[in-house]
Amino acid sequence: MEAAELAARIRAGERVAVALACRKIDERRPGHRELLAALLPSTGRARVIGVTGSPGAGKSTLVTALVEKLRGRGERVGVVAVDPTSPFSGGALLGDRIRMQRHGGDPEVFVRSLASRGALGGLSETTFDVVRVLDAWGANTIVVETVGAGQGEVDVLGVADTVIVVIAPGMGDDVQANKAGILEIADVFAVNKADRPGADAAEHALRAALDLVPRAPERYRTAIVRTVATTGEGVDALLAQLDAHGAWLASTPTGAAVRRKRARRAAHTRLGAALLELCIGELGAQWSETVERVAARELDVAEAAAALREALRAGGG
Ligand SMILES: Nc1nc2c(ncn2[C@@H]2O[C@H](COP(=O)(O)OP(=O)(O)OP(=O)(O)O)[C@@H](O)[C@H]2O)c(=O)[nH]1
Ligand SMILES: [Mg+2]
């Protein structure tokens, strides 16, 4: 199918077209770039919520509860589950799929799981692209779930307008160690599993850790909400905080500045990845040979990069 036709069908709200586009993007099939370019004018409307936190904190359960609330408002919703640790679509993703089946029959919810294929910077790029497709499809809100484990996830979260970090009792050490800079990236904290003992301690530890993070006075005051994802308790309050943050982004000068900064950072990441993809394609075998030689410590990485740049220059004439 031509990129223009597929784009038109996505814009018209056809789920089959969305699924086709996601597969095209995931596999980096020919034509995926043309498709994304064709979709560009119909993007930028959806609100993107990032959800991260330690494994097992209850992210997927919370996302499911959140989707239910958003559906209750009549919103069209996209969900992207990102698992950078899983090279296959098994494990956690399979579990997510089963949980998300609660929305399986709902034509106004589209769920897509993404697993790392080991490509350079590939996962965050794929996430950005899939989010763009769901945006063009007409999703009002897109929720991106990722396991917080490092820089890769922070890059993935660059796609989000608002970031929820989910913690659970007994996971306070992660917070104190500020794993993956979660204290800095969170706009809203969900202290989930509030039905379990230790929720008080978890919340106190979180507040104490937050107090230690230096922040400009005009910065958004990170909200903390207690939730029980399994029953839906606190999810209305969570949604209210998401709305409050969204309003802050949209209506205050600092919010606008934050939005611009995030957009710039995301553009930086995506442009870098796109440029790299082009260069690698142009270099052909020389790229993989150089990678091997750097890995074997035969070449210094900066020198190797300079040599590749020379090769590109010579090739480009
Ligand atoms: N008691 C209790 N259990 C919960 C709550 N939320 C989630 N769980 C349970 O915690 C387990 C993990 O939940 P998930 O939603 O899969 O957690 P996750 O953070 O998505 O996990 P990964 O994607 O594997 O990192 C499941 O057995 C849930 O039923 C809660 O609020 N209270
Ligand atoms: Mg999950």
pLDDT digits (tens, 9 = 90+) for 203-247: 998 888 888 877 777 778 899 999 999 999 999 999 999 999 999
Distance between Cα 203 and ligand 2 center (Å): 21
pLDDT at 26: 84
User: In this model, does residue 121 exceed pLDDT 60?
Assistant: no
Q: Give the tokens for residue 136.
A: 């063009």
Answer whether residue 266 is part of any domain: no
CATH number at residue 128: 3.40.50.300
Rounded to an integer, what distance in angstroms lies between the CA atom of residue 29 and that of residue 18? 15
Answer whether residue 279 is part of any domain: no
Distance between Cα 286 and ligand 2 center (Å): 39
Residue 292, domain extent: 284-316
Residue of the CA atom closest to atom 2 of ligand 1: 193
Per-residue pLDDT of 83-95, as tens digits, reads: 755 544 444 444 4
Residue whose CB lies within 8 A of the most ligand 1 atoms, among 174, 230, 233, 238, for a mutation test: 230
User: In this model, does residue 136 exceed pLDDT 50?
Assistant: yes
Same structural domain for residues 110 and 176? Answer: yes
User: In this model, does residue 40 exceed pLDDT 60?
Assistant: yes
Of 56-60, 150-154, 215-219, 237-241, give the range with the top mean pLDDT: 237-241
The mean pLDDT of 289-298, rounded to a whole number, is 96
**Other Cβ atoms closer than 10 A to 284:** 11
Same structural domain for residues 71 and 186? Answer: yes
Same structural domain for residues 25 and 65? Answer: no
Answer whether residue 24 is part of any domain: yes
Q: Which of 115, 114, 99 is nearest to 56 (CA)?
A: 99
Same structural domain for residues 88 and 214? Answer: yes
Inter-residue contact 162 to 238 (CB < 8 Å): no
pLDDT band at 148 (very low <50, low <70, confident <90, very high): low
Tell me the ligand closest to 55's alpha carbon.
1
- How many separate domains does the chain show? 3
Query: Which ligand 1 atom is at minimum distance from the Cα of 194?
Result: 31
Same structural domain for residues 178 and 157? Answer: yes
User: In this model, does residue 165 exceed pLDDT 50?
Assistant: yes
Answer whether residue 234 is part of any domain: yes
Same structural domain for residues 101 and 34? Answer: no
Same structural domain for residues 187 and 293? Answer: no
Rounded to an integer, what distance in angstroms lies between the CA atom of residue 314 and that of residue 91? 46
Same structural domain for residues 26 and 56? Answer: no
Q: Give the tokens for residue 27.
A: 């596999």
**Other Cβ atoms closer than 10 A to 268:** 11
Q: Residue 282 contacts by C-beta under 8 Å, 6 or more apart in sequence?
A: 312, 315, 316
Answer whether residue 271 is part of any domain: no
Which amino acids bring their CB within 6 angstroms of ligand 1?
55-61, 92, 147, 192-193, 195-196, 228-230
Same structural domain for residues 103 and 195? Answer: yes
Distance between Cα 232 and ligand 2 center (Å): 16
Distance between Cα 141 and ligand 1 center (Å): 22
Residue whose CB lies within 8 A of the most ligand 1 atoms, among 51, 52, 60, 63, for a mutation test: 60
Least confident of 12-21, 174-183, 205-214, 288-297: 174-183
Same structural domain for residues 312 and 168? Answer: no
